Amino acid sequence: DSQSTPLPTLLSTPFPVRIPLPPIALSAGPAVEAKVLFLAHTHRFHGSLGKQLASELARCLPKWLEVVRAIATIAEEQGSAQSLAAALCLHRCLVQSLPFPTADLGVDLDALLQIPIPPSEAALLARPNLATGRGVVVPGDESRCAFGDLLESLMAKRCSAVEKMQAAARLDLEAFLQVAPRVHLTAEIVSEDGRPHLREGRGATLRVRLLRNHVRPGHAAGPAHAPLCPLVGGVEEAWWIVLRLPTCGGADGHPPAICQRVTGAARELEVEISFELPAAGSYACTVQAICEAYAGVDVARGLALKVRGG
């Protein structure tokens, strides 16, 4: 349709700027309808869909999420951290009703849109707090997105912008902060045979512990806060553990990665992942915990890996 807004333009238009949806008739065909439903969901035009299209969107969402999770599983099997990250990004867009990130739309801004407050109120948080973020991961250090730092500041009531918000927005913000993930990651690599040294070609185990600081001791994590993605039983707050090994190129030309999905509602999650050690040498590896349901809450830790010759 010559009067429709091109798909790249729609996807690159920063939310919450309202853009006209392409005109659609119910007879337009499944491909056109699916495109419009996807854009309506990720740009939060739910109120403009009408009863029939809203019902169709509710039917499509579980299928879309299932397809994206299947793509993530394929990326896991191929050891492709890049493909996995792209799949999880799309998964979060569907869960949180966020526009798919582009070169013009920062991930931190996308993460801010998850907070259920008006855009004008969100702008108060964005300008002073998302300007900087820790992006370099070195052995022994933990890194998170700037959005994670903002959550910590809000919980500690160190953000002066909150005082300028309307009372209703503050209540919505406080409700979101009660469930927004704030996790601490610890990790180590040990030999599978219990020997003190790691040797090339032998098996090793990555031991990871995730502590959910947003969950009180003795309690469990509930479903993710996803009011615009109403699934039966809710959306699980699952995590992906990714160990990046800086050795030879993988299937996508990037260093291969060890990936595994972690589920469970416990305050502490522990996982062990077995893998084969690379050639002898000293490596600076990165372990990531990537959230499947929320943007901007991922954490990473650097690991120094020393492998001896066989």
pLDDT tens readout for residues 76-103: 999 999 899 999 999 999 999 988 774 3
pLDDT for res 29:
66
Q: Between 118 and 256, where is the model more confident?
A: 256
* Cis geometry, peptide bond prior to residue 16 (ω within 30 degrees of 0): yes
What is the percent of the chain where pLDDT is above 70?
Answer: 75
pLDDT for res 114:
82
Which residues lie closer than 8 Å to 208 by C-beta, 6 or more apart? Answer: 185, 186, 187, 241, 262, 270, 271, 272, 273, 287, 289
Average pLDDT over residues 40-58: 87
The reported pTM is 0.80
pLDDT for res 99:
83
Mean pLDDT, the chain, whole residue set: 79
- Domain residue ranges of the chain, discontinuous segments joined by +: 62-307
Q: Which of 28-32, 157-161, 164-168, 186-190 has the highest mean pLDDT?
A: 186-190
pLDDT for res 284:
87
83 and 59 in contact (C-beta within 8 Å)? no
- Best CATH choice for the domain 62-307 from the list 3.30.1340.30, 2.60.40.150, 3.40.50.150, 1.10.1670.10: 2.60.40.150
Average pLDDT over residues 147-176: 77
Average pLDDT over residues 137-143: 65
| pLDDT single digits (tens) 198-214 | 998 899 999 999 999 98
pLDDT for res 107:
45
φ/ψ of 292, rounded to 5, equals: -85, -20
Instruction: Provide the pLDDT confidence category of residue 50 given band limits of 50, 70 and 90.
Output: confident
